Amino acid sequence: MASKKSSKTTKAARPATKKSAQKAPRPAASVASKKIDQRTKELGDWRGKTLEKVRHIIMSADPDIIEEWKWVKPTNPGVPVWSHTGIICTGETYKDKVKLTFAKGASLKDPARLFNSSLDGNVRRAIDIHEGEKINEDALKNLVRAAVMLNVGRIRG
């Protein structure tokens, strides 16, 4: 019971304005946020810049999104994960792309047709972003918001 109260306190302490909420570190995710910062710097190329850009878009879509760092193994340093009552999406980097995989993407409406990968599965959908491609920021933000709504049970796929 005490942890629920402290969770509410953390939420109340968040900045009230959208602009400051986008830039403020989120207490529950500070370790993961630092790892994501480190990863974008390590990449040092268009992939790091792209990952940082989509990260900003994702985090600005909903004030309760948290950053996590998962699936660390000897052959992989780990993967950035954005969550809100469940995983929204992951952000993986490859030599030729940055891949955003939406955990429940097959259940989301995608009117802007951002999903361009993993289209045959029954659950996930992905967006592959290649060097030089422009990101439709409004459409991505709407997709993230739809994923949040699906996770919290306000919409059904």
Confidence tier at 155 by pLDDT (50, 70, 90): low
Looking at residue 132, its pLDDT comes to 96
pLDDT per position as a tens digit, 44-79: 999 999 999 999 999 999 999 999 999 988 988 889
Q: What is the mean pLDDT of residues 134-143?
A: 97
Please provide the CATH number assigned to the domain covering 29-151: 3.90.1150
CB-count burial class (<10 Å; 0-12, 13-18, 19+) for 57: buried
* Whole-number Å distance between alpha carbons of 34 and 99: 20
Hey, where are the domains in the chain? 29-151
Per-residue pLDDT, 76? 83
E strand or H helix at 147: helix 137-151
pLDDT tens by residue, 109-133: 999 999 999 998 899 999 999 999 9
State how far the Cα of 76 lies from the Cα of 139, in Å rounded to an integer.
Answer: 30
**Cα gap 111→117, rounded to integer Å:** 15
Which of 15-24, 38-47, 115-124 comes out lowest in average pLDDT?
15-24
Q: Kindly tell me if the per-residue pLDDT of 19 is higher than 70.
A: no
Query: pTM of the full predicted structure?
Result: 0.77
Give the position of tokens 């190329």: 45
What is the reported pLDDT for 111? 95
Facing residues of 117 across strands?
126
pLDDT of residue 156: 55
